[in-house]
């Protein structure tokens, strides 16, 4: 019987932790589900839903059982209720950044010229976007894209609400429960759609899906496409039969194809060009920065004194 007090203390501590979580205290990343989710009620339900929508059940279950699958705390914190602070795009107009873009353009002059011939989008516009989005692939962001969309689905489960609330409110204390429930459901609907595109992409391109890295919001590649954008606009620029957005040819052609698909053509006014670029990122500041960077890349580089 000498172990009873110790057991009692452990039970009290466990109850206290549960109470704090229910009250909305943020969970640590180590407390979130990891190491595969298939054997959880959430994972089993998701596998059933995807199988009902036509995906191979064995393949889906293997993905959900993969030990690399985990709930992403950064996605929970930032992607459910997103408030854009005033972004500082001025860093993309520094000579340091522009010189790297010029070097990329010089190294890939034939590639950019060919992409322009096919899409009508000037090479300097494509280069400006790739510079801003990923610094030509140097900025990888290092989040599993699969984990991002599974996380957003997990966050909409009522049983996980207290944990999600604690994480979101630690960053945005004024977010109400009503707003959080509304946003969780909306993001889950979007995430499921993106997940279905991601599964199709992985099957077609033979991708090790849990290893595919991108942003905490689910965008990936040099061009930072979300899965639906990849499915609709990513193209093979190298002729190897695959659209790999982590390679220069495919990223360049895909950005050009995207902008062409949303109306880029010769003769557009400045306002119309901004409107097309805003389809890439719905921000006036982003669009203005892309076009200003493109204008500077088009002009001869200033000689160093």
* Contact predicate 279/262, CB 8 Å: yes
Residue 181 CA to its chain's centroid (Å): 22
* Contact predicate 275/283, CB 8 Å: no
3-state SS class at 240: coil
CB atoms within 10 A of CB 208: 9
What pLDDT was estimated at residue 144? Answer: 96
Neighbouring residues of 260: CB distance < 8 A, sequence distance ≥ 6: 119, 120, 121
DSSP string, 286-299: HHHHHHHHHHHHHS
* Contact predicate 174/206, CB 8 Å: no
Write down the residue that tokens 């979101």 correspond to: 168
What pLDDT was estimated at residue 27? Answer: 58
What pLDDT was estimated at residue 139? Answer: 82
What pLDDT was estimated at residue 8? Answer: 40
Per-residue pLDDT of the chain (305 residues; tens, 9 = 90+): 434 444 344 343 344 434 444 444 455 665 899 999 999 999 999 999 999 999 999 999 999 999 999 999 999 999 999 876 666 788 999 999 999 999 999 999 999 999 999 999 999 999 999 999 999 999 877 899 999 999 999 999 999 999 999 999 999 999 999 999 999 999 999 999 999 999 999 999 999 999 999 999 999 999 999 999 999 999 999 999 999 999 999 999 999 999 999 999 999 999 999 999 999 999 999 999 999 999 999 987 665 54
What pLDDT was estimated at residue 302? Answer: 63
**Whose CA is closest to 236, among 128, 148, 123, 118?**
118
For 97-113, what is each residue's pLDDT tens digit?
A: 999 999 999 999 999 99
- Torsion (CA) 272, 248, 68, 200 in degrees, nearest 10: 60
3-state SS class at 69: coil
Q: How far apart (Å, rounded) are the C-alpha atoms in residues 191 and 183?
A: 12
* Contact predicate 88/59, CB 8 Å: no
Report pTM: 0.86
What pLDDT was estimated at residue 88? Answer: 74
CB atoms within 10 A of CB 247: 17
Domain locations in the chain as residue ranges: 71-305
3-state SS class at 209: helix
């Amino acid at each position: 019987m000498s172990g009873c007090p110790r057991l009692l203390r452990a039970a009290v501590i466990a109850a206290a932790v549960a109470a704090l979580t229910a009250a909305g205290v943020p969970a640590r990343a180590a407390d979130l589900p990891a190491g595969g989710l298939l054997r959880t009620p959430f994972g089993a339900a998701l596998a059933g839903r995807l199988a009902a929508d036509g995906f191979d059940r064995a393949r889906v279950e293997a993905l959900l059982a993969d030990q690399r699958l985990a709930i992403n705390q950064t996605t929970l914190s930032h992607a459910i209720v997103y408030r854009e602070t005033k972004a500082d795009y001025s860093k993309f107009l520094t000579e340091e950044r522009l010189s790297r873009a010029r070097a990329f353009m010089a190294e890939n002059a034939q590639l950019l010229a060919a992409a322009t011939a096919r899409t009508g989008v000037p090479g300097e516009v494509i280069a400006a976007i790739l510079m801003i989005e990923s610094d030509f692939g140097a900025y990888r962001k290092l989040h599993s894209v699969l984990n991002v969309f599974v996380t957003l689905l997990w966050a909409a489960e009522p049983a996980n609400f207290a944990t999600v609330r604690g994480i979101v409110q630690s960053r945005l204390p004024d977010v109400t429960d009503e707003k959080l429930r509304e946003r969780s459901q909306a993001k889950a609907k979007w995430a499921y759609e993106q997940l279905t595109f991601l599964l199709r992409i992985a099957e077609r391109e033979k991708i090790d899906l849990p290893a595919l890295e991108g942003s905490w919001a689910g965008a990936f590649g040099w061009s930072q496409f979300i899965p639906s954008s990849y499915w609709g606009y990513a193209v093979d620029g190298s002729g190897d039969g695959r659209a790999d957005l982590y390679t220069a040819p495919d990223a360049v052609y895909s950005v050009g194809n995207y902008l062409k698909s949303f109306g880029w053509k010769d003769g557009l006014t400045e306002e119309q060009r901004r409107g097309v670029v805003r389809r890439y990122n719905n921000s006036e500041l982003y669009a203005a920065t892309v076009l200003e960077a493109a204008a500077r890349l088009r002009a001869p580089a200033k000689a160093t004194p």
